[in-house]
Amino acid sequence: MVSRRDLPLLVILFLALALRVGYAVQARGTPLVEVLLLDSEFYDRQARSLLAGAGWTEGVFFMNPFYPYFLALVYWIGGTSWGLVAAVQIGLGTATCWLTYTLGEQLWGRRVGLIGAALVAVHGVLVFYDNALLTATPILFLNLAGMNLLQRWRCAPAPLWLCLAGVCLGFSALARPLVLVWVLLLGGWFAARRQWVAWGYLALGCVLVLAPVMIRNWAVGGEFALTTSSAGMNFYIGNHPQATGIYAGVDFVPSAEPDQEREGFVREAERRLGRPLGPGAASAFWLGEGFRFVWSEPAAYAYLLWRKFLLFWNEVESQNNLSFYFAREWVPLLYLLPGWGVLAPLGLAGWAIWARRRREVLLELYVLAYLVGCLVFFVSSEYRLPVVPVLALWAGLGFAEAQAAWRAGRFRTLGAAAGALLALGAVVHYTDPLVARLHSMRIDFHNFAVLYERQGNLERAREMARRCLAIDPGFGPAQQTLARLEARQVHPETAEPDTAAARGLRLFGAGDFARAATVFAELAVRSPEQGRYHNSLGLCYYKMGEMARAEAAYLRAIELNPAHAAAHYNLGLLRLAQGAPDLAIQSLRRALNLDPQYRAARFRLGEVLARQGDRVGGLAAWDSLLAQVPGDRILAAKLDSLREAIAGGGR
């Protein structure tokens, strides 16, 4: 029989379960289930390979190894079903609510634990990730399990609890190594208490999990990699002259798909060094390139760190995989649930006002670890998600202490808390052009248009492309995708596999740039439309990172057809990737002289001019573009930012 004392927790756990099941029900028959994006597709493919007995399809791990093995286990138990994975993760997500409660109860009492668990139960982003084929849910569960075991050791010291906590954190590190920053910070906490041996037990648990992976990486690749060989690449993505603080692709990487990202980074490192490299050596090269930016441009790097700090606390959910905002379009339930914009001010206010008398350094070090991780690399919704339960507990402490202050008549303290809450809310909800762009779903709709086209579902692909253009009518890639899809609808014969041009486009759309280049090279030789196909060939080489061959193809296309605006535009992008912005500006202006309605060229011209310090020129280019696409909120936000810079004395 359920006691009255247990009833509130059971209600919270039932609510958590019901919300997550409600998401799964609403997501059925939507793009969230029908196609897999980026990392999710990679994890699923690797899991199926493991299940079939073919093993891992690459050498040294580039992506985290934990989640594909986790998926393979789920698939082995009940079949390769999204529904079963969602069911397992819903169970883990509900268990995370319970673990939040137990941690809060041990630290600050039952009421704080209940409030914290309730906030975790209704947090919309957690509900979203509990139904996504991504690492977030297992990481939260493992981290909370490790924190509870560590707290158990504090109450009843025994090495076993520390070893088990280390094992949990080790498995979490196999899913994303950022938790190891916390393990290192814990070393300082243990040292301050003169408990090095105790920290050794915790570290031993981690090593027992990580050592086999390090040995495996050395055995198959001859290179040291703690978990994966992607650390240097991720560091460079977050720290280079064009970095914005979030995940953003670089010009020499054709796609954010893991296989192509790995290949693009390795190939570009080999091109720059002029010799073949293994994954570990390429990672070390990009780590060095990132540090080169840090040392050579300290002022720009300091500003970038400040941007990352603000983005970490901002309410926007920056995706590097599936977007929360895109999911919300298909699952209306998410509109009803609070997110980071509610939780962060409540949690920070609870910590700042109430936790001073009841501090828990371990939780503060935990949040600091993930903040440092995002400052070192880049900010994303998944990277900061593990701190949600701690913020929920701080918010719970704030509610509990505020109630006690009200009863005791300490209204000055309550006023200070309210003021802190309002100030933090203003900071968390600050919006600039980047934040506004992150709320937009244009990239998500275009990505799904491409994925549906690969599947052969052209009707669904056209729907996604049109919805993308409804958000941003001037988005060039979506215009091209929709034009291609509509051409295939009007002229079905272009979809036949034996049509060379269509085959080249299909291969290009699927990311098989080498085979697409072979097709376009043959067409460039035998077709009277040589200029057009040289331009397509240049695009293939560009995506493959072969800049010299891409340049030769674009120049040949322009030689054959000097009025080929797209070739001039593409040459401009290549010049930009080569670090020649002045030449890029010349090519973009030629493209616009040939086609004044070329929206993509006008947008990029404004961007390059602004980046080069010519804010007035950039403003003029974007003003012209805004006249072509009135109502574009993202572009309008960029214009407002430029106007503010000019008013502040910019050139």
588: domain CATH number is 1.25.40.10
**Cα 484 to Cα 477: distance, rounded to the nearest angstrom:** 11
What token pair was written down for 118? 């309730």
Contact 96, 138 (CB under 8 A): no
Return d(Cα 358, Cα 38) in angstroms, integer.
43
Instruction: Tell whether 451 is covered by a domain.
Output: no
Per DSSP, helices labelled H in 297-387 are 298-313, 324-330, 340-349, 361-376, 381-384
Which residue type occupies 433?
Answer: P
Q: Three-state SS for 258?
A: helix
The CB-side HSE value for 157 (13 A sphere, CA atoms) comes to 5
Q: Show the tokens assigned to 490.
A: 């009007």
Asked if residue 26 has pLDDT above 60, the reply is yes
Q: Which of 111-125, 320-334, 478-492, 626-640 has the lowest mean pLDDT?
A: 626-640
431 belongs to a structural domain? yes
Q: What are phi and psi of 379, to 5 degrees?
A: -95, 130
Q: What is the DSSP string of 467-500?
A: HHHHH-TT-HHHHHHHHHHHHHHH-GGGGSTT-H
Q: Which of 544, 561, 578 is the last residue of a domain?
A: 561
Decide which of 517 and 633 is more confident.
517
Question: Is there a single domain that holds both residue 336 and residue 428?
Answer: yes
Residue that has been written with the tokens 């991720």 in this structure: 234
**Domain end marker among 526, 561, 596:** 561
Residues 549 and 569 in one domain: no
- The reported pLDDT for the residue numbered 639 is 63
Q: Counting beta carbons within 10 angstroms of the beta carbon of residue 632, is it exposed (0 to 12), middle (13 to 18) or buried (19 or more)?
A: buried
Are 551 and 578 contained in the same domain?
A: no
Task: Give the C-alpha separation, 513 to 542, whole Å.
Answer: 9
pLDDT interval class at 650 (50, 70, 90): very low
Q: What is the pLDDT, as a whole number, of residue 500?
A: 67
Query: How far is residue 442's CA from residue 358's CA, in Å, rounded to a whole number?
Result: 45
Taking the C-alpha atoms of residue 315 and residue 576, their distance in angstroms, rounded to an integer, is 32
Torsion angles phi and psi, residue 318, rounded to 5: -85, 120
289 within some domain:
no
CA dihedral 256, 262, 265, 271 (to 10 degrees): -130
Runs of H (alpha helix) within 28-158: 31-34, 39-51, 66-78, 82-108, 110-122, 124-129, 136-155
Q: Which of 383, 359, 388 is nearest to 372 (CA)?
A: 383
What does the alpha-carbon distance between residue 234 and residue 222 come to, in Å, rounded to a whole number? 21
pLDDT band of residue 498 (cuts 50, 70, 90) is very low
pLDDT at 235 over 70: yes
On whether the CB atoms of residues 643 and 616 are closer than 8 A, the answer is: no
The number of folded domains in the chain is: 3
Q: 571 lies in which domain range? A: 565-651
Compare 193 and 123 and report the one with higher pLDDT: 123
Has residue 446 been placed in a domain?
A: no
User: How many of the other CB atoms lie within 10 Å of CB of 602?
Assistant: 25
- Let me know whether 36 and 170 are in one domain: yes
508 and 630 fall within a common domain? no
pLDDT tens for 513-525 read 788 888 888 777 7
Q: What percent of the chain has pLDDT over 90?
A: 39
Task: State the pLDDT confidence band at 599, using cuts at 50, 70 and 90.
Answer: confident
- pLDDT higher than 60, residue 528: no
User: Looking at the predicted structure, is the pLDDT value of residue 493 above 50?
Assistant: no
144: helix, coil or strand? helix
Domain-located, residue 462: no
- pLDDT greater than 90 at residue 441: no
Is 467 a domain residue? no
pLDDT of amino acid 645: 62
C-alpha angle 201-388-421 in degrees, rounded to nearest 5:
125
pLDDT of residue 490: 52
Q: SS3 for 527?
A: coil
pTM for the whole thing? 0.77
- What b/e string do you get for 69-100 counting C-beta neighbours within 10 Å, with b at 16 or more? bbbbebbeeeeeebeebbbbbbebbbbbbbbb
Q: How far apart are CA 509 and CA 67, in angstroms?
A: 27
Same domain, 217 and 351: yes
- pLDDT tens digit sequence for 280-300: 888 899 999 999 999 999 999
pLDDT for 497 beyond 70:
no
For residue 212, how many other CB atoms are within 10 A of its CB?
A: 11
CB-based burial, 128-155: b 16+ in 10 Å, e otherwise: bbbbbbbbbbbbbbbbbbbbbbbbbbee
CA distances from 169 to 102, 107, 150, 205, 257 (A): 18, 20, 11, 8, 27
List Cβ neighbours of 87 (8 Å cut-off, separation of 6 or more): 24
Q: Distance between CA 344 and CA 392 in Å, rounded? A: 8
Q: Which of 121-135, 206-220, 509-523, 562-576 is modeled with the greatest confidence?
A: 121-135
Residues 165 and 17 occupy one common structural domain: yes
Same domain for 405 and 541, yes or no, is no
Give the orientation angle of helix 476-490 with respect to helix 599-611, to 10 degrees: 160
**Which three-class secondary structure state does DSSP give residue 299?**
helix
Helix (H) or strand (E) holding 591: helix 581-594
When mean pLDDT is compared over 57-61, 241-245, 435-439, 496-500, the highest value belongs to 241-245
Evaluate if residue 148 carries a pLDDT over 70: yes
What is the rounded radius of gyration, in angstroms, for the C-alpha atoms of the chain?
A: 26
Q: 390: helix, coil or strand?
A: helix
Side-chain half-sphere CA neighbours of 279 within 13 A: 24
Report which residue type is found at 44.
D
Does residue 217 sit in the same domain as residue 347?
yes
| Of the ranges 16-30, 62-76, 351-365, 504-518, the best mean pLDDT one | 16-30
Per-residue model confidence (pLDDT) at position 462:
86
Among residues 561, 587, 613, the one where a domain terminates is: 561
Same-domain pairing of 552 and 574: no
Q: 50-97 pLDDT, tens per residue? A: 888 877 766 777 788 899 999 999 999 888 788 899 999 999 999 999
pLDDT band (50, 70, 90) for residue 111: very high
What is the tens place of the pLDDT at every residue in 562-594? Answer: 877 888 888 888 888 888 888 888 888 888 777
Q: Looking at the domain assignment, is residue 85 inside a domain? A: yes
Q: How far apart are CA 19 and CA 121, in angstroms?
A: 8
Q: Of 284, 254, 256, 282, which is closest to residue 547 (Cα–Cα)? A: 254
Q: What are phi and psi of 246, to 5 degrees?
A: -120, 175
Mean predicted lDDT score pLDDT of the chain: 85
32 part of a folded domain: yes
> Taking 70 as the threshold, does the pLDDT of residue 215 lie above it?
yes
Q: What's residue 495's pLDDT?
A: 42
**Are residue 572 and residue 554 in the same domain, yes or no?**
no
Pair (68, 135) in one structural domain = yes
